[in-house]
Structure 1
Amino acid sequence: MSAKTKMLNSRQQQKANTRSKLKQVAKASFLKQGIEATNTRAISAQAEVAVGTFFAHFPDKMTLIKEIFFDEMDASLHQSANELSTSPKPHPCDFLYHYSQNLFDFYLEYREFTLLVLGQSLLQKGFFQTQLQVLTQAVMQRFDEVGVDESSSRIFAENMVANFQQVLLDMLASQAETKNAWLTRLLQLNRPFEHMYQTAEERFKG
Structure 2
Amino acid sequence: MTSQSSLESALTPSKGQLGAGRLGSSVYGGRPNFVLVRRDDAEGATHTLYELLPAEQATARSDRLERTVQNRQLVIEPFEDVLVESDSPEVDRWDWEDWTAVKIRRLSGSRLRSILPLIHETLDAAGVNDSSVVGSGQGEAFLPESAGIRLALGFLGVKPIQRVDRMRSFCRGIARMSDEECYYWHAKCRSPSSPNGEKALRVLLTDHIN
Task: Give the TM bin, normalised by the shorter chain.
Answer: under 0.3
- Indicate the structure with greater helix content: 1
- Indicate the structure with greater strand content: 2
Q: Higher RCO, 1 or 2 (CA under 8 Å, sep at least 6)? A: 2
